[in-house]
Structure 1
């Protein structure tokens, strides 16, 4: 392959999956869920970890640093909270009487 062909090949955008993998690598996370979790405010992570029965040491950890059992507990807590809070979310303060 000549220089021109190599440059042309390199100028095309990467496939989405390759770009996402590169972003995950740069941000040291393993998944889109991991990226989302790691961008949560510490107070939200604290609430989620507490709800999952995890310890304070888990709060600053990245999602992929948790054990499979800890991730499972966190996943269950997030789903439980998400389902339970749907009827209360985005209500006005006046409705909380």
Structure 2
């Protein structure tokens, strides 16, 4: 039990742990980590919609330029809004 108490007393603050995880996975934010872990076909669709090139599919979010991220962000929001009425509907309704 002494070990547990010692570990608790020497644990990192949450923000340091989160920063360490971002560094470990090579991303700058939790949103970046989420994007970086999307399936390749999903990233391909998002990049295509944003007008980006094939090389962007393999890039991590933080490796893109600000302009590329702006285009990707805009595209994601446009798709999310446009697809909302179709999401989670029964296939029988999709005629």
- Fold in common (TM above 0.5): yes
The gaps in structure 1 that reach 5 residues or longer are 1-7
| 1:64 counterpart residue number | 62
| 1:74 counterpart residue number | 72
Deviation at 1:13, TM superposition (A): 2.4
Q: Secondary structure at the match of 1:40?
A: coil
| 1:42 counterpart residue number | 40
| 1:52 counterpart residue number | 50
Count, aligned residues? 90
Normalised TM-score (structure 1)? 0.87
Structure showing greater Rg: 1
State yes or no: 1:84 paired with 2:82.
yes
The gaps in structure 2 that reach 5 residues or longer are 1-5
Normalised TM-score (structure 2)? 0.89
| 1:27 counterpart residue number | 25
Question: Deviation above 2 Å: which 4+ runs of structure 1?
Answer: 8-13
- For the residues of structure 2 that align with 1:35 and 1:72, how far apart are their CA atoms? 17
